Amino acid sequence: MNKKLIRTLRILVILILVLINLIILRSNLVNKNSANNTNTNKTNNNETSNNIIETNSTKSINSVIENKISKMNESSRAQTYFGEFIEAIDDQNYTGAYNMLNDEYKNNYFPNQSDFENYLKTSFPQGNLAIEYNGFDKKGDIYVLDVNIYSINDTNNKINKTAVIRENGLNDFKISFSK
C-alpha cells in the first residue's frame, strides 16, 4: 500500500511538473510573439490572450489534480493533502502552508504568519522533509493522520504529529496538527 501511494504521488507530481512546464513554454512563446509586435492593439490583445491561456491552463491543472484525487480513497487523499502542506513548508512557502491551516486553529495557535514561521523554524526538522504515515482514522467529516516528520538528511531526528484534515471538497481542505 505504501509503495502504491508513493508511486501515485510521484505520478501526480510528475503530471503537475509537466503541466507547469507546458504553461511556462506556452507563456514564453506567446510573450516572444507579442514582443515582436509593435502595434499597441496587438500587444493588448496578446496580453488578454495570455491571461485567457493562463486561466485555462490553471483550470486544466486543477481539473487533472481533482480527477486524480477523486479516484483516491480517503486515506490517500488525506495523505496527499498533508503532503502538500509539508511540501509547502519544505519549500519555505510559509504563506501557502499558513493558508492551508484551519482558521480556528490558526487563531488559537498562530494569530499571524510570523508566529507560524517561528514555530516551524524552531520545532520542525529543516530541509528535505519526509513523512512516515503511521495511522489513519476518520471521525465524521475529518481525517486524522498519525505521522512522523523528519529531514532525509537526519533520519534520527523525527517528530511525531497528529494531523487533522477537514476536506470540504476535492482538493479543498484545511489542516491542523498537534503542537
For the stretch 123-168, pLDDT in tens is: 899 989 999 999 999 998 899 999 999 999 988 889 999 999 999 8
The full set of domain ranges for the chain reads 2-70, 74-177
Backbone angles phi, psi at 163, to 5 degrees: -105, 135
- Does 54 or 55 have the greater pLDDT score? 55
Average pLDDT, the chain: 80
CA distances from 58 to 34, 53, 171 (A): 21, 8, 14
Mean pLDDT, range 40-68, rounded to an integer? 53
Contacts of 125 (CB under 8 A, 6+ apart): 149, 150, 151, 154, 157, 158, 159
Percent of the chain with pLDDT over 70: 68
Cell of 131: 513523512
Q: Which pTM was predicted? A: 0.65
Q: Outline where DSSP puts E strands in 42-153.
A: 129-139, 142-151
| Contact status, residue 126 vs residue 117, Cβ threshold 8 Å | no
Give the CATH number of domain 74-177: 3.10.450.100
